[in-house]
Amino acid sequence: MSIPPPPNQQPSDPQFGGPQFGGSSAGGPPQGVPPQSAPPQGGQDAPPPRPGAGSPGANHSGAPGHGYGPQPGRKMKRWGQGLTWTGLAITVVGIIAAIVTGVIGFGNAVPSEDRMTTIVSSGTVTAEADEDLYLYVPDGAAPAVCTVYPPGQAEVHPIENPMTTNFTHEGAQYQSNGGFTTTEAGTYELTCSNPEVLVAPSVSGGAIAGGVLGVVGGSMAAVAGGLILIIGIILWIVGAKRMKKSGVR
């Protein structure tokens, strides 16, 4: 005798004999539970991706990326470039200054042509009052012995503590050999034992000093500029090598 099933209950089917929830069947996952993916080989979870891996702009070559962080050698190279050009400019300016000041200073030290008078045994010289006139003889010639005849009641006196100077005139070197100081303006007659005597004012000591200072100052500036130039070139080369080694251009 069979017992009918309760109302609203379906008869059990041997084909679907397993429980619907919480159980498992040999043929597959329980009904109603989504299938799970198989764990990775070895039984461990896969490691999380590294930060920045696969992101745009990542550098996979191992070299530092361009534009991120300090770039080795760039600052040193810029300093080297600045010092190089600065040192070069100072060197050029120093050399030019030494040449110009030397030429001007020593050029002004030599008496002008219109103040030079050549006496061949005898002759006349026009002078101002209280003016020192030097007797110059060619280099290697005997000292000059001259007699001076002043105009009117004027007098002449030997120069006290005469300077020993020399200069070049018309390709010949002349050196000073004493001189005289006038008392009045006028024309003075001279008779000399030497065949050739050059009468002219003294060489300007101030102009010579200015020329010397200009040459020394310009030379020191050129030397300082040269040192700066050398330091700048060294920094430039070292910085460029570091940039090249790190892969930065």
Task: Grade residue 202 by pLDDT with cuts at 50, 70 and 90.
Answer: confident
Look over the chain and give the mean of its residue pLDDT values, rounded to a whole number: 74
Average of pLDDT values for 6-13?
53
Contact 52, 58 (CB under 8 A): yes
Weakest mean pLDDT among 22-36, 87-101, 142-156:
22-36
DSSP string, 194-226: SS-EEEEEPP-HHHHHHHHHHHHHHHHHHHHHH
Q: Model confidence over 125-180: pLDDT tens digits?
A: 888 888 888 888 888 888 878 888 888 877 778 776 677 777 777 778 888 888 88
Strand partners, 172: 169
Give pLDDT, residue 159: 75
Q: Which of 194, 196, 212, 215 is nearest to 204 (CA)?
A: 212
C-alpha 90/C-alpha 83 separation (Å) is: 10
C-alpha 3/C-alpha 9 separation (Å) is: 13
Instruction: Work out the percent of the chain whose per-residue pLDDT is above 90.
Output: 17
Domain extents in the chain: 74-108+209-245, 111-202
Q: Which of 99, 177, 89 is nearest to 138 (CA)?
A: 177
**What does the block give as tokens for 120?**
């061949």
Q: Is the pLDDT of residue 216 over 60?
A: yes
C-alpha 138/C-alpha 114 separation (Å) is: 19
Question: Between residues 163 and 94, which one has the greater pLDDT?
Answer: 94
Q: Is the pLDDT of residue 21 over 70?
A: no
Q: Which of 37, 16, 39, 38 is nearest to 27 (CA)?
A: 16
Contact 216, 94 (CB under 8 A): no
